[in-house]
Amino acid sequence: MFGPDICGYSTKKVQAIFNHEGENLLKKTEVSCPEDELTHTYVLIVNPDDTYEIRVDGKTEASGNLREEWDFEKPKTIKDPKAKKPSDWVDNEYMDDPDDAKPSDWDKEPEKLEDPDATKPDDWDDEEDGTWEPPLIDNPNYKGEWKAKRIKNPDYKGAWQHPEIDNPEYVEFKDIYKRGPLGYVGIEIWQVKAGSIFSDFVVADNVSEGDAFLKSRSVDKDKEEAAKSAYEETHKPPPAADDEHQDYDDEGFKTDL
């Protein structure tokens, strides 16, 4: 499956899905697609050396190795299911200094202080407004939460690496570019907004054939944009009735200004 996929506000990508061993494989990384209402061309090239290229409007948007972008093969190695990190493994590189102690006067200063420059408003009424209290401000001498100094952990062994073993399910596939005979082209359209037009589905044996066809059907984007704007201008819906743009005649009926 290949082509643009635009759905809602989040999905705007070029789908490139290969069927392999009865499973549909999605591309690991996304390729963005245009979301305007102009004509666009989408090209997927699959080469005999198991490389690929995706072009949008003649520009290469993605290329590389098929095996790296699609899971045609299971990984060659997997984490050993029997291996577990030893219970005494120390993977914390730093630790609190056991000889560091919090100073006795550390918590002497509060976090907030009454603002010494604040004064009780002249119109403050204790009976109606309650007892006046000056606002609080940050204490510049407040030291915050005490934390011990950090030192190198003498028992640090480094990050534990899970050992890997050969994957018993790994199977090497050669010539994954071969897709078998192509007997037809299917079109899948799922949309809630009318107006999309699809045409010129081309399957070629080499890139030059496809390029020649695209060149013969090239679209002038400036002319297409101008035609689209002209169409929209001549097919504008009538403005909605608005009382601000209406008046009343002598008999009390509304009339457009």
Q: Backbone phi, then psi, for 243, in 5-degree steps? A: -60, -25
Say which amino acid occupies 97: D
Domain presence at residue 96: no
CA–CA distances in Å: residue 152 to residues 83, 87, 100, 102, 145:
28, 20, 14, 19, 22
CA–CA distances in Å: residue 49 to residues 46, 53, 66:
9, 12, 9
pTM as predicted: 0.62
Domain presence at residue 128: no
Domain extent at residue 178: 2-75+171-234
The total of structural domains in the chain comes to 1
What is the full per-residue pLDDT of the chain (257 aa) written as tens digits? 999 998 878 889 999 999 999 999 999 999 999 888 888 999 999 999 999 999 999 999 999 999 999 999 999 999 999 999 999 999 999 999 999 999 999 999 999 999 999 999 999 998 888 999 999 999 999 999 999 999 999 999 999 999 999 999 999 999 999 988 877 888 888 877 777 788 888 888 889 998 998 888 777 767 777 777 776 777 677 666 555 555 555 555 444 43
Place of tokens 């198991």: 50
Domain presence at residue 143: no
Domain presence at residue 109: no
- The token duo for 232 is 């929209």
Domain presence at residue 162: no
Domain presence at residue 104: no
Domain presence at residue 81: no
Domain presence at residue 119: no
- The token duo for 144 is 């915050």
